[in-house]
Structure 1
Amino acid sequence: MRFKRSEGLSASEKLLAELCDRSFLKLWTYPNLFKKPPGKELIDLLVVFGNDVIIFSDKSCSYPNTGDADLDWSRWYRKSIADSAHQIAQAERWIRSCPDRVFLDAKCTEKLPIELPNATDMRVHRICVALGALDRAEAETGTRALKIEPAVLNDAGRFTVGRTDKATSWVHVLDDTSLMTVLSELSTIKDFIHYLDSKVALMETGNFKFAEAETDLLARYLWHDRTFPIVEVPYRIEPKLWEKVEASPEFLAGREANEVSYFWDGLIEYISDRYLNETLEFGNEYSMSDHERIVRTMAGETRFFRRILSKAILERAEIAKQQAISTLLPSDQGDVSYVLYIGRGDQGGDHAAYRTERAKNLQLRCVAAKAVNPEKRFVVGLAMDARGVKGSSEDFFLIDTVGWSAEDIGRAQKVRTDLGYFKAGSAIMSRISEDEYPGGRKAVDVPGLANELSGLTVSESIELAAMLKTRWDRSG
């Protein structure tokens, strides 16, 4: 094992680590970090993903019961939220000024294995996990949630969170309910960070005044195509909006449609787990930064796009039982192209020789893909075998073309021309129209897929193209 990280110390820290592992994946999630000197705990959980750093502090405490409602709230707020915001501010200062002195263990012998961004490029997102107040909140207000009111400073309003003077910027407060809901519904780093950024922008407009719960904010955001609609006058968010949205057939259909998207998460965890355990057949020699860069590109997809990519791969894995297929897959990231190559398997022959040939086919197609989309910087290649093949294997490949010259692009075009990759006559184009919330929202048109079905007769190509079209029409 390349390193050993904590899984959380207290029950609430373990819950937080488990939720973040599921949403952000283990390679980017680090509970219970320490600083040196003096080897004291730095923060309860840190997520590092490129230039984005998410700082979680969990200072959850039991709710006091002195008989004085205002005093009880003030004491709980100080221990659970104010102290948490202070810890976040201290941790932020430390990782900006001393990024090489962040450790996984209290003895400070094992450094944080992932590279922190430099202070200039770092985008910090601050999360306070505040558990333990909802029973009293429900008893006193009838609502089992912490309210959100941007104008409130510190503990000025009971069971209400707004600004804090313990931090220089917004600290997002998640309670028992919203922690589970937000991390479950925004279960990728890109989705989660976009929500946090959108929420901060909303708070700073001045027109949003009040929400009964964080989950109502989330409901408004999700149901308006992951945005907060611009409102020119002061307004409050409709109470219990989350319950209405979550109960809608369209929302439930979208949640069910997303189940297939976890195939993409599985690919990322599969290769990362084997890299960390040094059990990859090829690639164990890569540095942590090189490996992380490959899988970070894949992890940069939203949940919706992971659904699209997963469906495309699994459907082509069925087709590959008849014939190897290569496809240019879309990305939600403007500078990324994916190349998928699925072989039929070794057919009982020499698997090593088959895999070498499959990897060569993938790499050449990745070069050709740059000629198809020269504006894309990264080309990620994925090679695998047809579904159900015995002894199957996978290969992953990344090309960063940032330094490519016009001559390099010309050579890529020559590979594409000479070998006929992703060209009219050798590729069948299909288009995707997918609803995030089937039955109730507008479909999203995704750029075309170039499907290579080399070695087939004209009639076989037409048959497979029709199969692809039928499946996508049905899924949309």
Structure 2
Amino acid sequence: MLKPIQKEPSVNESERILSSIATNTFFSLWCYPSLFRSAGKGKELIDLTVYFDNTLILFSDKGHVKFQAHSEINLAWSRWYRGAVKESAKQLHAAESFVRNHPDKIFLNSKLEDPFPFDLTNPRLKIHLIAVTRGIGEHAKRFFDTIKPGSSGTLGYYYQVPEKTLLEKPFFVGDVDQEKTFVHVLDESGIHLLLEELATPADFIHYLEVKEKAIREQKLLLSAGEEETLGFYLQEDGDRGFGDIQNLPENKGNFFAIPEGEWEHYRRTVAYALRHQHKVKARLWNEITARFADCIVDARVGEGRDLPFLTHSNAVQVLASENVHSSSCLASTLFEKFDSVPKGIRSSRSVQSLSNPGRMYVFVFFPWDDKYKSYEEYRQDRTACMQLYAHVARYKFQKAREILILGADTKGSPGGSETIFAIDASVPLSSEERVAAQKIMNTYKILDNISEKRVKTPDQPKNIGRNDPCPCGSTRKYKKCCLIKGMQ
């Protein structure tokens, strides 16, 4: 029987802010403030933990570490760096070590009564570490303005150099310990920007992975700020609606840098405007995902109350694993179909995921009839109908490896709910199952006349990098020509 998840509240206001904005991206189902470990008399593991699809993100938030502005600048910087960055990194690496060594000794609260609901024992578990700093922006801006007025006031990043060098460069941080897991050091503007722009678990995690690879393997040396790194990433085509960070071939393996102005340049492009439109539409998909997630956390599911927690969370994880581009297109397809279905008519729409090849969605709109004595009885019939669609979908979409069926009311129904279940379609149907699916399809007119919508993302042309010659025939680089919005 599904039970409510009882989370421990955040310790202070700074951690509450972090938990709140992280939950907007990762949903209540995968976001956990103040987990505790059974060793050490129930000591807190870390300030915030996010788990999603065998990936763990650990956040350390030290709040406002005092910057001693009255002291000599290098001395003030080195003291702040040790208190805000080094201490966070130490805490993060200790938490990572505990997870690796004692994955079954992590609990939701200090009473150590409810274990963490996800399995952390997988040897391929990925862990990302993020140190959040606060209150440093005003001091950074004041310092950088003495060099060149108009600074954004964000931390700069200088990788591939020893800590001694960083301590002599105020308001620059880097790779805290190159022998351990990389730590992303983000000021408050940086973490807000990433969670706002990378507004899905898939987008956020992909960015962390790409950035870490660029630093540790491709020799990214310097970035003028996290916003500049993000701007660079979003302007590159990483395929399937993701961005990328690549060292240019002409560098011949030498160090490369991300200069100041990348974010502002990106904000003037058509690509930014298109992505903004996708983000707006993706919120509709996220709202559906959030409702499912909240219902699981609160144990208020409509169907499958007797099924285990992971069965529910794995189904919703499918919805949440779409990136912004894919979520936008799925939401558009879903609501366009909903608006077009006549009252009292059963209908469906099938569509492929853009960010997850091999995944197919089938949206089933099931009408209310006055014969139903209750809404619960209606939902039972709708679920039975969805199961028929699942049988036929496996037959119709034999190249799909995963199928998600989403059932919803049609216009005019007295209720308002959705039901989902995910199907592993990687195992081929037997001959008996194919015959049964054909019979269901013909008898009940299910997916016999498929309305499948295939959508493409309006990204930049394939194989055209932003530093390549523009395909329009001008002599300018693509990023300085057709990629830029028409009006400067």
Structure 2 stretches lacking a partner, 5+ long: 146-150, 238-242, 463-488
Q: Percent identity?
A: 26
The correspondence for 1:366, drawn from 374, 390, 397, is: 390
What is the CA deviation profile of residues 435-466 of structure 1, one whole-angstrom value per residue up to 9, with x for unaligned ones?
36xxxx459xxxxxxxxxxxxxxxxxxxxxxx
Partner of 1:121: 124
Q: 1:62–1:388: structure 2 CA closer, same or farther, 3 Å change rule?
A: farther
Is the contact between residue 89 and residue 167 of structure 1 (CA under 8 Å) also seen in structure 2? no
Which amino acid letter does the alignment assign opposite residue 359 of structure 1? T
* Alpha-carbon shift at residue 376 of structure 1 (Å): 2.8
Is the contact between residue 351 and residue 452 of structure 2 (CA under 8 Å) also seen in structure 1? no
Partner of 2:256: 235
Paired with 1:404 and 1:249, the residues of 2 have a C-alpha distance of 43
The correspondence for 2:366, drawn from 327, 336, 343, is: 343
The correspondence for 1:67, drawn from 71, 78, 95, is: 71
Partner of 1:146: 155
Partner of 2:43: 40
Bigger shift: 220-229 or 172-181?
Answer: 220-229
Partner of 1:22: 24
Partner of 1:461: none
Structure 1 stretches lacking a partner, 5+ long: 444-476
The SS at the match of 1:427 is coil
Is the contact between residue 34 and residue 106 of structure 1 (CA under 8 Å) also seen in structure 2? yes
* Alpha-carbon shift at residue 409 of structure 1 (Å): 5.4
Is the contact between residue 80 and residue 130 of structure 1 (CA under 8 Å) also seen in structure 2? yes
- CA RMSD in angstroms, aligned pairs only: 2.4
Q: 1:72–1:311: structure 2 CA closer, same or farther, 3 Å change rule?
A: same
The SS at the match of 1:112 is coil
Paired with 2:442 and 2:384, the residues of 1 have a C-alpha distance of 15
What is the CA deviation profile of residues 406-426 of structure 1, one whole-angstrom value per residue up to 9, with x for unaligned ones?
446535653465445434xx2
Is the contact between residue 339 and residue 362 of structure 1 (CA under 8 Å) also seen in structure 2? no
Partner of 1:193: 205
Paired with 1:67 and 1:228, the residues of 2 have a C-alpha distance of 38
Matched, 1:283 2:300: no
Matched, 1:31 2:33: yes
Which amino acid letter does the alignment assign opposite residue 422 of structure 1? L
* Alpha-carbon shift at residue 45 of structure 1 (Å): 0.9
* Alpha-carbon shift at residue 93 of structure 1 (Å): 1.1
Which structure exhibits the higher relative contact order, with contacts defined as CA atoms closer than 8 Å and separated by 6 or more residues? 2
What is the CA deviation profile of residues 331-355 of structure 1, one whole-angstrom value per residue up to 9, with x for unaligned ones?
1223422211012333575444543
Is the contact between residue 34 and residue 108 of structure 1 (CA under 8 Å) also seen in structure 2? yes
What is the CA deviation profile of residues 14-57 of structure 1, one whole-angstrom value per residue up to 9, with x for unaligned ones?
11101110011110011111111221111111111121111111
What is the CA deviation profile of residues 251-272 of structure 1, one whole-angstrom value per residue up to 9, with x for unaligned ones?
2343134212122212222123
Partner of 2:351: 329
* Alpha-carbon shift at residue 100 of structure 1 (Å): 1.4
The correspondence for 1:210, drawn from 209, 222, 225, is: 222
* Alpha-carbon shift at residue 430 of structure 1 (Å): 4.2
Partner of 1:88: 92
Is the contact between residue 317 and residue 387 of structure 1 (CA under 8 Å) also seen in structure 2? yes
Bigger shift: 124-133 or 180-189?
Answer: 124-133
Paired with 2:178 and 2:394, the residues of 1 have a C-alpha distance of 49
Question: After superposition, where does 1:337-416 map in structure 2 within 5 Å?
Answer: 337-346=360-369, 349-350=372-373, 351-387=375-411, 389-401=413-425, 406-407=430-431, 410-411=434-435, 413-415=437-439
* Alpha-carbon shift at residue 85 of structure 1 (Å): 1.0
Is the contact between residue 394 and residue 429 of structure 2 (CA under 8 Å) also seen in structure 1? no
Paired with 2:178 and 2:226, the residues of 1 have a C-alpha distance of 21
Paired with 2:433 and 2:363, the residues of 1 have a C-alpha distance of 20
Matched, 1:422 2:447: yes
Q: 1:352–1:145: structure 2 CA closer, same or farther, 3 Å change rule?
A: closer
Bigger shift: 210-219 or 255-264?
Answer: 255-264
Matched, 1:261 2:261: no
What is the CA deviation profile of residues 267-316 of structure 1, one whole-angstrom value per residue up to 9, with x for unaligned ones?
22212322332333322222111111111111111111111111111111
Which amino acid letter does the alignment assign opposite residue 447 of structure 2? F
Which amino acid letter does the alignment assign opposite residue 273 of structure 2? L
Is the contact between residue 46 and residue 55 of structure 1 (CA under 8 Å) also seen in structure 2? yes
Question: Displaced runs of 4+ in structure 1, greater than 6 A?
Answer: none
* Alpha-carbon shift at residue 401 of structure 1 (Å): 4.0
Q: 1:368–1:94: structure 2 CA closer, same or farther, 3 Å change rule?
A: same
Is the contact between residue 347 and residue 366 of structure 2 (CA under 8 Å) also seen in structure 1? yes
Q: Normalised by the size of structure 2, how large is the TM-score?
A: 0.83
What is the CA deviation profile of residues 197-244 of structure 1, one whole-angstrom value per residue up to 9, with x for unaligned ones?
111121134543221101101001111231124413143223122123
Paired with 1:429 and 1:231, the residues of 2 have a C-alpha distance of 39
Q: Normalised by the size of structure 1, how large is the TM-score?
A: 0.85
Paired with 1:404 and 1:431, the residues of 2 have a C-alpha distance of 24
Partner of 1:469: none
* Alpha-carbon shift at residue 130 of structure 1 (Å): 1.6
Bigger shift: 244-253 or 311-320?
Answer: 244-253
